[in-house]
Structure 1
């Protein structure tokens, strides 16, 4: 079994889509640990605020198969891939880390994900997997968050939003 770190986000009916996604992750994988949910501004485009969270799962799937499963989950929630790269999302789930592997797979599959540098990905992951090591730097997520230039980015934890 491998440990995988996921980043989850939505800005279109986000409560419903995040709750459903976590429920589906819990139905498929034995162990799912979920961070708090944070409200953040859209990054890369002018759009509505996102709700972002992170999950750590134990999986028997290889990175390529896990990525395909996550894409199918996004698609089941109405993910529209025809628009610009940065845009509104019903559901966006990225495979950020997979144990300490480096994956330069087919298509867009890159692990660790470049988005790990953003507070909306790094902060929730550091919260639930502080000892997980980012393999390119050899540093833990806690160390990366402590040194992040985005530590001051406004991220409001959504009170009472329990999806785990």
Structure 2
């Protein structure tokens, strides 16, 4: 995949973030978090900028972005719904919850609704096993999800 040069504005914003953190010990992860916070995802075109400023190869930077699932390569919806798919949640019905959410939203995991309202992502353990099945909606914990809560979540992300 050929990476396009960053636009001047994106490059300037990325450079500012990088310059503010490049002196940290192990700066790549904090820089990537900062860039994702700024843009909502890690634009592929900033990877060469990061690589150059940190004296890394583009492959090294891309490898880190692609390895960690929390780094997004595309913009997300206005809401991000993360549904736990770990064993405890599965044993308590997260597969049925996932199926209901996917059907109601018309998307699969790692997709965003056509209206840009919600992105659905799987996660593997939120540490809420006692409240299985569990999810995070825009960083807010939701436990013991059942059909009624699925309908409430859908109403919230559609409003």
TM-score band w.r.t. shorter chain: under 0.3
TM, length-normalised to structure 1? 0.26
Q: Which structure is higher in strand share?
A: 1
State TM-score, norm by structure 2: 0.26
Task: Give the number of the structure with larger relative contact order, counting CA–CA contacts within 8 Å between residues 6 or more apart.
Answer: 1
Q: Considering fraction of residues, name the structure with more helix.
A: 2
